[in-house]
Structure 1
């Protein structure tokens, strides 16, 4: 029997939702949960997006703003989503319905985000596998040649093949399940990913001229501060921490009741921010030195990782080895995020349909491969196809990250602040220990976060127009 929250009931936040799937497979330890959730947060956004945004918006001042937002804004949203997941034991669609059936539509919007993102994300993941193959077969000089990247992504066959390989690797882990697949793989991948990040970052500082780039990266210059810096850092936080796409709700539903939720969120943030920081440390100084201090060389989006960096590796002592290790790092980051995206989709349909999990996994794998094809061909034979003036992949990226995610987060804040009340989340956090950041959380989720989210949404629309 399901228990639904009633917003008119003053004791609503006191109610327990103990109708969850008690037999639902979950993480076996707090560490397993933290590694899996951190793996979801750490993705391609940390490796290439964070460094070029940091370079574009003032280096050290962007880094400072990002850290402040991570421990306030990001913390509050992540606590909310994980608490909702653990309290209800459901994926996003049924989680919101369990708390108040009138607001189940929020779950549907959140669930649509990973469904949109996963196919085109796998296209980029396929690019990473291609470059990893190049460096492991000793063809790094070719990757550094002008026009190599454009020639590859415009091919009608090769990118799709590598995309399918990436989807298959993701599906294998998801098919293995939460404990044997996601948890075990994450507990191996995350420590390796962090160690590789630190190693390449330290090596990057040994390049002639890299130290000036490092100083620019870590030293805040308040004259570079602007509202654009805040908006950019906020947008990156969203992109980086897997917020507002149902992932943290899904992973929260697998979290053990006895684990410290607040402490787990802090640890996830540390992992995510550390990888982003070291990514900037390994890319900004190297490219800064290579370009002679030209910051525009860093502001190239995907081109930074697939065009500029291969040129840097080609001129670097031991560059081929460093490049191979770098793309191993990027692949691990890409896989940890794609696994969480696919698991969320599988969990959504598992909650809705009475079908075996492996059948859903296979169906998601095959359908995603088909849906990914247009995003890949959008850079080649379908390059003339534009949606709102954007390529197919860029369109899906804009709609999901710039529109749907801020809307989902805003609706979630309103839902918690005015429908189920913050105390509902606070009580879930306090199942194990006191919620030390309770006052900060209540202010952020009720007032600060909604305002920031409206600003992000408006700036996204204005930026597009």
Structure 2
């Protein structure tokens, strides 16, 4: 197999870069609101079980395919079986769609960060602030452009000098910010006008302790499906990113140990994000604030920071700086996947492809921004939810393509190529793979069934009426 021109310097570089890809808006924005929606501790318990089973299977598969083939997702599947090369093209579609809107969300984060840097940030807590910003004709494009430019610069610098060096600096700082704000959230307390006192520790109890009261099979299945869909956001699997990063990994790196470290880092950040956000929202907004769903970060949290008084500005700066770091590391991995694939398609240099992908990202991101004003439309998706242009791209990539790709990959590896193809790559240098038996069982019998159910429910072909 030909040696890649670029690669990570070693295991630490790979783990930090891969963890940077995995740790993103999905961990800090999506995980806490899903956890709050699905019963706190119950969602957390289900998610942890899934990470140790499905998460490790999907992550190990992607990384091992990348390292063994030394190819990006576009061509890697074709080396396993020629008739399955189409799966590489399906995988390539996912980052192509995600790149259209990820820098837009990054721009939203920068807007909120700037609101706390240049002023008290209290205006960000006012009703209608978020809506007025995203529907503005120019401001969202300007902030998106700043975020996209930084992303493109990191990718332009390359794997070791760009992505790895950036990850080595950002990831430790990100972790320190999350830990610091998490600890601070537990010290909070607030007294309502009627004398009711709420504390951060009470919010922590809601977050950690599963509530099985009134639990039905239908509710549990919804929690299970929410937790499973979170895995895709959280671990960057089934979108070609981990195959691309795996292709940069040296043969002497212990894959089993590296994937365990990525799992631990990613899950740890998701757990701390919940501990950082849920107790704080509970203290100042009660259980009603915890049920605010996707608006938790951009609408509810600024109200929490405002309620903290003068300290709220400092916490607001720290929080949105941390969120910007997380969004940037993930956006870098998405753009890197596109650049790496396009280098193989067009046989051009990294710098040339980075410029081309950057132009594509800029044009499509502008269209997404305009989707909230001049290009606005209201569409009902097959799963019954209402959507605009950004929601449509997110639905196609995350609810349709990613479960479908995971389903097909599990069939390819589990029943056509054979799990031994993956396990042999993991232990190629004599390393141990304690979960090899679990991997083989899961990839053949469990993953295909659950992925099929998730795909059918997400696309509206199966209704859960219990």
TM-score by length of 2: 0.93
Superposition pairs for residues 274-289 of structure 1, below 5 Å? 274-289=268-283
Partner of 1:444: 442
Deviations 1:228-264 (Å, cap 9, x if unpaired)?
1111111111111101000000000001100110111
Partner of 1:410: 407
What is the deviation of 1:411? 0.6
Partner of 1:71: 52
1:310 correspondence with 2:302: yes
Partner of 1:459: 457
Partner of 1:99: 80
CA 1:463–1:103 in structure 2 vs 1: closer, same or farther (change >3 Å)? closer
CA distance in 2, matches of 1:230, 1:304: 21
CA distance in 1, matches of 2:389, 2:210: 37
Contact (CA 8 Å) 1:204, 1:283: kept in 2 or not?
yes
Superposition pairs for residues 119-268 of structure 1, below 5 Å? 119-208=100-189, 209=198, 210-223=200-213, 224=215, 226-268=220-262
CA distance in 1, matches of 2:33, 2:79: 41
What is the CA RMSD across the aligned residues, in angstroms?
1.4
Secondary structure class of the residue paired with 1:431 = coil
Contact (CA 8 Å) 2:29, 2:297: kept in 1 or not?
yes
CA distance in 2, matches of 1:361, 1:464: 40
Unaligned runs of 5+ in 1: 1-18
Partner of 1:4: none
Contact (CA 8 Å) 1:53, 1:299: kept in 2 or not?
no
CA distance in 1, matches of 2:242, 2:120: 39
CA distance in 2, matches of 1:255, 1:35: 12
1:352 correspondence with 2:345: yes
What is the deviation of 1:293? 2.9
What is the aligned residue count? 444
TM-score by length of 1: 0.93
Partner of 1:43: 24
Secondary structure class of the residue paired with 1:462 = coil
1:396 correspondence with 2:393: yes
Dislocated runs of 4+, deviation >4 Å: none
Contact (CA 8 Å) 1:213, 1:293: kept in 2 or not?
no
What is the deviation of 1:463? 8.4
What is the deviation of 1:301? 4.0
